Amino acid sequence: MEMSFRWYGEYDPVTLEQIQQIPGMTGIVSVVYDIPAGEVWPLERIERLKQTIENQGLKLNVIESVPVHEEIKMGAASQDKWIENYKETLRNLSRAGIRTVCYNFMPVFDWTRSELDAVLPDGSNSLKYDEETVQYIDPLSGELMLPGWDLSYQIEDLRKIMDTYQFISEQQLMDNLIYFLEQVVPVAEEEDVLLAIHPDDPPWPIFGLPRVVTNKENVEYMLHRVDSPNNGITFCTGSYGADPENDLPGIIESAKGRIYFVHARNVKWTGPRSFQETSHSIKDGSLDLTAVLQKLHDVGFSGPIRPDHGRMIWGETGRPGYGLYDRALGAAYLNGIIDTLEEKSGE
């Protein structure tokens, strides 16, 4: 497996020099920032990002994410224009030598949490999702902005979009995803690009919006409907694992051969549809990452994996969930498990 690290570019307080010093680190997961969703990514911007990373002796092995325009998700009359732009971005990524693209199909809001710095028993801070708290959040009030939210919308524009989604069922949203994939996957095949959809985070509806990448049944349906080796998934332990009903090794088995990227993080279930992120250790969280990595190894996964959201420890401040220290510890923890699995199998 290719141990990788998320880097937010030149404005990230975590530097490439620091990332390079994490044992076993080879890959960088990043994105071309400041290009509006739906617009074509210029080849020269992609190549500039790639060169910056390679100059530090690392490899840009995953683009996360190429945003899907909201009108594609809604199946609007204008969706084909945005899909054509998406195709051209895939072509430019291929020209730059990028082979793995992570994306999501979450309506309006990306990953959502109710608290940014909830205290854990060890005194560190982490991201938390509490269903009861979220029930009282009005995203249209403009008073609260949470990580993962697209802040480019004005309140009235956001209101119109959310009103439109009230008439879009989960099946319609899935149909819109399938239509999108039917259009872009042939280009991915031509360009040798692997598309890896990220699950909804959390894996259930929020704010009355439908969500459709939440469980094994969704994954099987999507992979079967667009049955191409270039149509695959990002397996995120924390997203799927937030729902205790999700059998993580079972999802891996269903998607074997079509998993192209892995996010590894742990969460502690704190109540119905509620959880807090923890260290990667199985002693701290509710997820058995050793069993997950064993299953990934058994099905032959050898692609990029990154330590996902971490705690804020040792007084570190910065982007919630994306401090250096705990993610570096997470990478070391994951590498230890992976090294043991490979040694046992004689690799």
Give me the catalytic one of 69, 102, 198, 297. Answer: 198
- Is-contact 266 279, C-beta < 8 A? yes
Helix 324-344 and helix 289-298, axial crossing angle in degrees, nearest 10? 50
Give me the catalytic one of 201, 284, 308, 326. Answer: 308
Q: Where are the alpha helices (DSSP H) in 255-323?
A: 289-298
Give me the catalytic one of 263, 284, 326, 333. Answer: 263
Q: Give yes or no: 102 in active site.
A: no
Q: Give yes or no: 236 in active site.
A: yes
- Is-contact 306 297, C-beta < 8 A? no
Q: Give yes or no: 280 in active site.
A: no
Q: Give yes or no: 263 in active site.
A: yes
Strands 125-129 and 274-277, sheet pairing: antiparallel
Q: Look-up: residue for tokens 């979009």?
A: 161
Count the neighbouring beta carbons within 10 Å of the beta carbon of residue 115.
16
What distance separates the 2 farthest-apart alpha carbons in the chain?
Answer: 59
In whole angstroms, how far apart are CA 35 and each of 31, 67, 152? 10, 10, 12
Give me the catalytic one of 165, 322, 326, 333. Answer: 322
Give me the catalytic one of 69, 103, 129, 236. Answer: 236
As annotated, the active-site residues are 198, 236, 263, 308-309, 322
